[in-house]
Structure 1
């Protein structure tokens, strides 16, 4: 794919992805196919993978949507989501927000030992929107649209619809790993709660945007970690 894939190239790639998944009945093999695709794209091009999921989500091919969502459901059962990396909020080597960025500035050499972890599709979108990373932050509208579309896709699988909000609820309680700011954990908790409650994808995405920091306990001084 080109650095900036065209709409047609994305549709073609999404069609090849789904066709490859459909050619195999083994759920584990299908998961291996998705993970291999993410590896071939490379760590810095995980958003291309998200766009491929979005192409399928926006299509009228319900079979393809179920196939893809079921494969992600398999990944959730195995706790092995095809993930992408974003720099940690605690990184000290990020460029100034106002400075122009070059491709070399976003290389692994630039970030060096910056702590990073693999994030699944929903977590990646949330961190990308809320935290300072190596990428230009997603706008609220892009985040809402992308998250709603992603959840609509995942809802095509009973496993994904059940297991993903459970995972997010656990992630939202983890304050020690350093991957999520407090604001991000609150958004993940809001997504998990609305998703478990059976709200629509649009309502779930809006709940993430509407989430606000809880009031600080009296006498405590807190920072938005």
Structure 2
């Protein structure tokens, strides 16, 4: 085995490079339906955000991602940090699907969600692309999770509800770690996002999708 690489051929971290390594592998990470649904819910809540004084749209997006991963006041666990980093990637995919230029999405994520001016421009563009009404929003999230056609849904079923993000550049550079303290307004936004995800309407939408998937595979 070559020096400086692991058994998979990936560079081993060094004291100098370890802080810069992504929390998910550059080559691939496993994506579940739940993760994609979380990403869609994050973007939906972000689109509806009413910021508090001194808060920017990048700040709010970061807070929603952390909240969806289970953080908020305590130190993030390794699993929560990894989930947040993977979720940020899926949020980027969702934004690109809404017509946000990939260059802007990459810049925002590669800047570790710190550029509030860029985030504001992305947010403004997103508002023009988001569907209107709860039913339309749920349908849109469903398409992001399972695909727009029955064929895509069937393919997702055969893949056992798992997809591998292989060969796609992981854009967020800084490992999400340590203590991330959400403000009171950000905590309210996270709770609102979670209530929407577990509303009766959202649950019935998911149940109908699951019934269709079972029907497709007999």
The structure, 1 or 2, with the larger RCO (C-alpha pairs under 8 Å, 6+ apart) is: 2
| Bin for the TM-score computed over the shorter chain | under 0.3
TM-score (norm 2): 0.25
TM-score (norm 1): 0.24
